[in-house]
């Protein structure tokens, strides 16, 4: 019997390699590994950002009737046209945003220009100016509310001592003053952001331009307006647009300080959306309040995306959209020119003062004889003295709240109530810390915050490390689109998402659970961290990876062993910023958690307030403890923070 021989089935003529080649031609050379690297970010953006945003849009077309959502079309939006509360909230938001951003720009330019001069201890002063940015939002709000307090606060006694007022003023309770007071706090909080970016921009300007202008006889005003400002146009545009987005959507500071009062004077649109959706259980009208501002935010975000991607593809032909954005950009430049008029006057005054002081110094040195030629040392001494005099008021403005936190935290309750030794504890005591640790759930809130901040930071940095590399290095179709979507995702305000997120989390049973924060915090941590990492990766030579792959390493191995270790400064920077943002976050934690044993520190501090009774001693003690970890992190990693952010913002 003939032995049967198994005949192998014939393989198809087209090898598997050919299929891969066609897929690579269709999706890009590195599409497989790009899909692996970007999968967590795509899932995050689609599941927790895109879908909630679409849900918010659909929700805005409904009203709640008999425990069901009934479709009403555009009725919610049409009703807003005659809604006095809504119109008032929009006007409040615009007023709050325009004034705050304008003042922050002017003050930031003044401080950055001063720190960029030959100022003694300018590195130390630069670190001090960064402190308001580090402090948690809840600490900022409660501290300034304590300072503004008409009875126990520190502002009224100072102004009375200077003869500027003759009665105690309710800064947060009197109509007309509440908005001014809240704007001042927003300016205090935002000064470091403007100072840091503008100072980095000034350091990037070629010093030879200033030297050549000085040789040609240009004075300080001319050098500022013809060299500094043109050199800062890009940085100022990005900074102003970023600050406009965050200020326009502010919620925490305003809500914690005034709750939108008195009489709605500080009710911005985000507070109105919160009131209607969660306090009045009118999700549809609340979503409409949030989304009606979306076109304005979309315009600002697209402008910002254009500025931040400026110069990436200079070969592309100018489109009608580019021309439209150019017109808007020129309008912004015109507005910024008007905003800069006070700076022009101030610098002119500074120049006059400096000249007068220089002449006086020269006459003193020459024994009263007329002396018009000053030595270089005399000019530098006069310049340093003027710089110190200029920065001193801003330094006091920045440091006073920290001084107030410390002295209030170490006072006894009786000393606070009787207003004994207002600006110095007599005696120093740890009573407030004992009451806080033994009489409240502060320790548990601290543990909750550490747990949530650590987990979300670890996941966010891990996702950003892989996603940023894919967008910066790998070749695949849609990389440019993904980069733009990532930026838009980062800039999408929480005020547009918290209503649908609340409903989604309620549906899946994650509300009033730590999973609610573990799921939602990466939505605002990952996009920014990815953007910074992407910019840093672009500064690392690709030849290092190519050499490793020639030696047999695959793309993943080259990334893990070569590129990632070189990106340590950026990793430390985004870790620090992500942890800080998670540690300080208030809105999501306040809305998604209700159980006192689950809440985080920012919400816990707010829970210490009973009606209109503010235990300022405990609040300041808690604020001091809450701020210490973040301040320590910044002191330890300040150098890496600046290096990582500078690389990410310039190259990205």
What is residue 201's predicted lDDT score, i.e. its pLDDT? 83
**CA–CA dist 198, 246 (Å, integer):** 18
Instruction: Return all residues near 472 (Cβ < 8 A) that are at least 6 apart.
Output: 533, 534, 535, 537, 538
Backbone angles phi, psi at 282, to 5 degrees: -115, 80
CB-based burial of residue 399 (10 Å sphere; 0-12 exposed, 13-18 middle, 19+ buried)? middle
What is residue 212's predicted lDDT score, i.e. its pLDDT? 83
The CATH number of 434-652, from 3.30.70.600, 1.10.3720.10, 1.10.645.10, 1.10.10.920, is 1.10.3720.10
> And the tokens for 538?
């672009």
Instruction: Return all residues near 327 (Cβ < 8 A) that are at least 6 apart.
Output: none
- Radius of gyration for the alpha carbons in the chain, expressed in angstroms and rounded: 28
> And the tokens for 329?
């950009």
Instruction: Return all residues near 375 (Cβ < 8 A) that are at least 6 apart.
Output: none
H-helix or E-strand spanning residue 371: none
Helical pair 178-203 and 616-651, crossing angle rounded to 10 deg: 30
Backbone angles phi, psi at 513, to 5 degrees: -150, 145
**CA–CA dist 198, 414 (Å, integer):** 45
Angle at alpha carbon of residue 449, lines to 448 and 453, rounded to 5°: 120
Backbone angles phi, psi at 128, to 5 degrees: -65, -40
Break the chain into its structural domains and give their ranges.
Answer: 434-652
What is residue 305's predicted lDDT score, i.e. its pLDDT? 67
Contact 325, 303 (CB under 8 A): yes
Q: Mean pLDDT of successive 10-residue segments in the chain (652 residues)?
A: 45 50 66 86 87 90 86 93 94 95 90 80 77 86 93 91 90 92 95 86 80 74 77 82 88 92 93 91 91 85 67 43 52 56 57 58 54 56 74 90 93 87 89 92 94 95 92 82 79 81 88 92 89 83 84 84 86 86 91 92 90 87 88 68 50 36
* Sign of the CA dihedral running 126, 203, 385, 398: negative
> And the tokens for 88?
């008032």
**CA–CA dist 246, 235 (Å, integer):** 17
DSSP per residue, 15-83: -HHHHHHHHHHHH-TTHHHHHHHHHHHHHHHIIIIIHHHHHHHHHTTEEEETTEEEE-TTHHHHHHTT-
């Amino acid at each position: 019997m003939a032995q049967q021989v198994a005949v192998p089935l014939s393989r198809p003529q087209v090898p598997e390699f050919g299929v891969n080649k066609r897929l690579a031609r269709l999706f890009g050379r590195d599409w497989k590994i790009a899909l692996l690297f970007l999968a967590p970010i795509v899932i995050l953006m689609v599941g927790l950002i895109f879908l909630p945003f679409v849900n918010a849009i659909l929700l805005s077309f409904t009203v709640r009737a008999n425990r069901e959502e009934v479709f009403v079309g555009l009725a919610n939006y049409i009703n807003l046209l005659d809604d006095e509360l809504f119109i008032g909230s929009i006007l409040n938001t615009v007023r709050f945003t325009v004034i705050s951003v304008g003042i922050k720009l002017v003050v930031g330019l003044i401080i950055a220009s001063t720190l960029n001069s030959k100022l003694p201890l300018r590195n130390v002063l630069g670190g001090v100016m960064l402190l308001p940015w580090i402090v948690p939002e809840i600490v900022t709000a409660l501290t300034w509310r304590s300072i503004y307090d008409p009875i126990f606060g520190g502002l009224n006694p100072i102004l009375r001592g200077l003869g500027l007022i003759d009665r105690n003023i309710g800064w947060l309770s009197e109509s007309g003053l509440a908005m001014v007071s809240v704007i001042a706090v927003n300016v205090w909080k935002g000064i470091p952001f403007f100072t840091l970016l503008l100072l980095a921009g000034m350091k990037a300007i070629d010093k030879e331009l200033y030297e050549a202008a000085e040789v040609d006889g240009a004075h300080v005003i001319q050098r500022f307006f013809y060299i500094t400002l043109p050199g800062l146009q890009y940085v100022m545009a990005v900074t102003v647009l970023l600050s406009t987005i965050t200020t326009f959507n502010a919620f925490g500071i305003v809500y914690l300080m005034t709750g939108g009062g008195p009489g709605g004077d500080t009710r911005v649109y985000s507070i109105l959306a919160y009131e209607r959706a969660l306090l009045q259980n009118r999700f549809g009208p609340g979503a409409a309040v949030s989304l009606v501002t979306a076109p304005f935010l979309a315009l600002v975000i697209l402008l910002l995306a254009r500025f931040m991607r400026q110069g990436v593809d200079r070969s592309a032909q100018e489109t009608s959209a580019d021309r439209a954005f150019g017109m808007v950009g020129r309008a912004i430049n015109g507005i910024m020119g008007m905003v800069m008029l006070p700076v022009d006057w101030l610098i002119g005054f500074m120049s006059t003062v400096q000249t007068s002081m220089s002449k006086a110094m020269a006459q003193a040195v020459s024994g009263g004889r007329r002396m018009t030629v000053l030595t270089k040392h005399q000019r530098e001494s006069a310049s340093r003295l003027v710089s110190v005099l200029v920065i001193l008021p801003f330094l006091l403005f920045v440091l006073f709240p920290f001084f107030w936190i410390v002295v209030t935290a170490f006072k006894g309750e009786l000393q606070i109530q009787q207003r004994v030794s207002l600006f110095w504890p007599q005696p120093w005591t740890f009573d407030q810390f004992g009451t806080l640790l033994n009489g409240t759930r502060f320790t548990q809130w601290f543990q909750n915050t550490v747990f949530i901040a650590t987990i979300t930071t670890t996941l966010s940095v891990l996702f950003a490390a892989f996603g940023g590399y894919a967008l910066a290095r790998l070749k695949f179709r849609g990389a440019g689109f993904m980069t733009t979507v990532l930026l838009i995702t980062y800039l999408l305000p929480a005020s547009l998402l918290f209503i649908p997120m609340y409903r989604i989390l309620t549906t899946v049973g994650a509300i009033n659970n730590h999973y609610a924060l573990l799921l939602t915090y990466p939505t605002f941590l990952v996009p920014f961290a990815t953007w910074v990492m992407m910019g840093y990766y672009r500064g690392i030579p690709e030849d290092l990876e190519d050499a490793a792959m020639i030696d047999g390493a695959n793309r993943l191995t080259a990334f893990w062993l070569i590129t990632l270790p070189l990106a340590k400064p950026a990793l430390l920077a985004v870790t620090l910023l992500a942890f800080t943002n998670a540690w300080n976050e208030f809105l999501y934690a306040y809305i998604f958690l209700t159980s006192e044993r689950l809440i985080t520190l920012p919400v816990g501090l707010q829970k210490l307030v009973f009606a209109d009774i503010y235990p300022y001693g405990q609040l300041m003690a808690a604020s001091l403890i809450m701020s210490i970890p973040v301040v320590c992190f910044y002191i330890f990693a300040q150098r890496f923070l600046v290096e990582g952010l500078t690389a990410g913002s310039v190259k990205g």
